[in-house]
Amino acid sequence: MTGRRLRAALLLAALQAAAAGAVVVALKAGHRRLYADRHRIELTPQPCRSCPDCRGDGGWWVDGANPEMEACGCWANRPTWRIRLLPVRAAWPDEPPFRTTRPRPVRPGSDLGRPPIGKGPAARSFTLRDQEKSSMTHRSALFAAVLGLGRAGSNIGDHWIQSDYCARVKGATDDKPVYLTTDDPDAEPTVHGTSDGIKACAWHCLTYTATQALAVGAGARILGIRLHPGAAAAALALSFVTHYAADRRVPDGLLETLATKTGKGNFWRLADHGINGAYCLDSAWHHGWETAAALVAIIGATTR
């Protein structure tokens, strides 16, 4: 990759990061939450943390014989912006014997439905956001979101962010050095051995992991996912180590040895009919460990 192409790739990655950051800042400043699926794109108002009435909780309990909740005007009086996409069709009528949900039984003596103990709106305030049953609270939905974001970040980091120098030198050794030529026909080719190969592979894995972190972090912010810092760091470390182990493709390296031991040696050496066996097995290795990293990343994850 020439210097011009490298600058263009870095500029593209920076523009993506800037766009994602601008969206996050706009949503936070406007106190709105973004939701999108195949049926609609929706921007719903959220309580303002600086509101003097609800203090960001969204409302409070009203005293009386039958206490009921009252929504704060900092968000309840603001419109919801919605763009409809595909129509929603009900699969079954919501009546016996096709009822899709079953009423939740209330255990006698439980505090379900009771207002918090205390005096004043601030003491008995409730969080309306916690009353919403969002699909993102399900563990499988969190896993799918983190896996998709990580897969996008890894693909960008592996193909757009990785430089031509790193791609060619990361497998160099002293026994089998890599010779690089420049655009100048009179210049002598540069020789790169084990030291340069280790540095090139480490730098590629660093930018690869950083791109993953940026994609997952920005996407999680937009989707309202709060990842545990320790779990996220462990997932990125797992991604870095496993990517380095595969991409430091020295003779008789990890993937080549593994392919040979499992009877995939011929497929590893296949480079014909539009198929590159080494690339396919390398991608399968990365996809498997990205799945494991996503499982690690959602440990302790919550929603905003």
Burial (0-12, 13-18, 19+ Cβ within 10 Å), 58: buried
Instruction: Give the pLDDT confidence score for residue 210 in this predicted structure.
Output: 96
Whether residues 79 and 140 fall in one domain: no
Residues 169 and 212 in one domain: yes
Mean pLDDT, to the nearest integer, of 144-163? 95
Q: Same domain, yes or no, for 253 and 149? A: yes
Q: What's the confidence (pLDDT) of residue 106?
A: 45
Whose tokens are 């080719």? That residue is 189
Q: State how beta strands 225-226 and 302-303 pair.
A: antiparallel
Asked if residue 152 belongs to a domain, the reply is: yes
Q: Which domain holds residue 270?
A: 3-19+136-303
113 and 163 housed in the same domain:
no
Residues linked to residue 42 through DSSP beta bridges, in sequence order:
35, 82
pLDDT in tens, 35-85: 887 778 888 888 888 888 888 888 887 776 677 778 888 888 888 888 887
Give the pLDDT confidence of 98-120 residue by residue, as tens digits.
444 444 454 444 444 444 444 44
Angle, vertex CA 73, rays to CA 70 and CA 78, nearest 5: 125
Domain for residue 26, yes or no? no
Name the least confident of 41-55, 86-100, 150-164.
Answer: 86-100
Does 116 share its domain with 148? Answer: no
Residue 27 in domain: no
294, 187: one domain: yes
Examine residue 47 and state whether it is found in any structural domain, yes or no: yes
Domain boundary among 98, 132, 166: 132
Same domain, 169 and 286: yes
Whether 140 and 117 share a structural domain: no
pLDDT at 5 over 70: no
Between CA 153 and CA 147 the distance in angstroms is 10
- Residue 78, domain member (yes or no): yes
**Span 198-235, pLDDT tens digits:** 999 999 999 999 999 999 999 999 988 999 999 999 99
pLDDT at 109: 46
Whether residue 193 lies inside any domain: the answer is: yes
Task: Give yes or no for a contact between 153 and 215, defined as CB atoms under 8 angstroms apart.
Answer: yes
Q: Are residues 189 and 210 in the same domain?
A: yes
- Residues 267 and 156 occupy one common structural domain: yes
| Count of the separate structural domains present in the chain | 2
Of 84, 107, 132, which closes a domain? 132
d(CA 225, CA 142): 8
Confidence at 263, pLDDT banded by 50, 70, 90: very high
112 and 150 both lie in a single domain: no
Averaged pLDDT, 141-169: 94
Q: Picking from 38-47, 131-140, 159-168, 213-222, which range would have the lowest pLDDT averaged per residue?
A: 131-140
Query: Does residue 90 sit in the same domain as residue 181?
Result: no
User: Domain ends where: 112, 132, 152?
Assistant: 132
